[in-house]
Amino acid sequence: MPNSMRSNFTVLIALAGFLFFTPSTYAQGENHEEIQHEQAHHEDAGHSEASGEKDIKGVIKETIEHHLADSYEFHITEGVGFPLPVILVDGGLKVFLSSAFHHGGVATVNGAHYKVNHGKIYKTDAAGTIAYDDHHHPTNEKPLDLSITKNVFMILVMAIFMFFLFRGVAKTYQTSLAPKKAGRFLEPIIIYVRDEIAIPNIGEKHYKKYMSYLLTVFFFIWFLNLVGMTPLGVNVTGNIAITFSLALMTFIITQVSGKKDYWMHIFWMPGVPVLIRPVLAVIELIGLFVKPFSLMIRLYANMLAGHVVIMSILGLIFIFSSWIAAVPFSFLTLFLSVLELLVAALQAYIFTMLTSLYFGAAVEEHEHH
């Protein structure tokens, strides 16, 4: 594979860009203290049949939200997990582990007190008091949050994994042109992205300089989609901040790559009456921003919906509390999980395909008569 070492170095650079553009403050983490109070409330509630059904639905809802939400700690299973670094800018840089919150408690750092409320960190007093306005919005000061949340941690892990994976594959080609080990699986996919996505949509003249980015995006989305199907509660591509960052990278590269013909077809469309050109310019300008928006929403909505549907069907087993219902719902969950494997690859393919189309439109050269 030509330029393989340069391509693999670009993998790490591109993923670092994704991390930089990903606003961790948009992460929606769980509030451990409120969950514990909610569970205690359910335990103290009446034991009537209606109340029990309500409790089960509440627990199922909390479980789904916990699986989808970002967090300041990496929770694997009950009682198993590890804290992540919390990085705040509040009169200076303050770094500490999320374990300082003690499951919803107050973290005291250099005389300042902080508390997690609805997935965001607020500055409080020693008692952890959160003040609310008339619309029940917290009025406490929020420090600048640059924390390594669960999603950011997984992005870093995936970046390191992909870097060493493709670096190892590239090394095998230094001694032999025949693929070895992981290269036997990855080479056909890389060739497919090149021959069926990049070249047809971008053209043989320009496709090479975009291959590193296209391959990075494809494998990044695909691998994270697969990780999201595990019980680890990882939902990176189902976080709109992440898909926004990916779409933003594509948007920036497209506009920077745009040639004279690209901008001419946006602001002064050739081959149409002069009176129509201003109208088309407005439509094309709107489309300029609709394209990355559709990239963002498509990936986010599809992956989020897949998680919600599967976990909701699993929850029905506990709501009905019947073996008669458990069997068909279990098979339905298994079928949808297998279908999600296809969706995981399909969404990576669609994102990469559309990205290459946008790049191709930006570098296309037209003959004007």
Domain range list for the chain: 4-22+151-363, 24-148
Residue count of the chain, please give it: 369
pTM of the model: 0.79
DSSP element (H, E) containing 123: strand 120-124
More confident: 27 or 288? 288
Average pLDDT over residues 32-38: 38
Write out pLDDT tens, residues 121-162: 999 988 888 999 888 889 889 999 999 999 999 999 999 999
Whole-number average pLDDT of the chain: 81
CB atoms within 10 A of CB 285: 12
Residue-wise over 82-93: b if at least 16 C-beta within 10 A, else e?
eebebbbebeee
- Assess contact for 356 and 210: CB atoms under 8 A: yes
How far is CA 322 from each of CA 48, 52, 129, 240, 325, rounded to the nearest angstrom?
18, 15, 44, 37, 5
Average pLDDT over residues 238-245: 93
Strand partners, 107: 114
Tell me the one-letter amino acid at 134.
D
pLDDT more than 70, % of the chain: 84
pLDDT value of position 11 = 40
**The pLDDT of residue 86 is above 70:** yes
Q: Which residue, chain included where needed, has tokens 């009950």? A: 78
Residue 142 burial (C-beta neighbours within 10 Å; 0-12, 13-18, 19+): middle
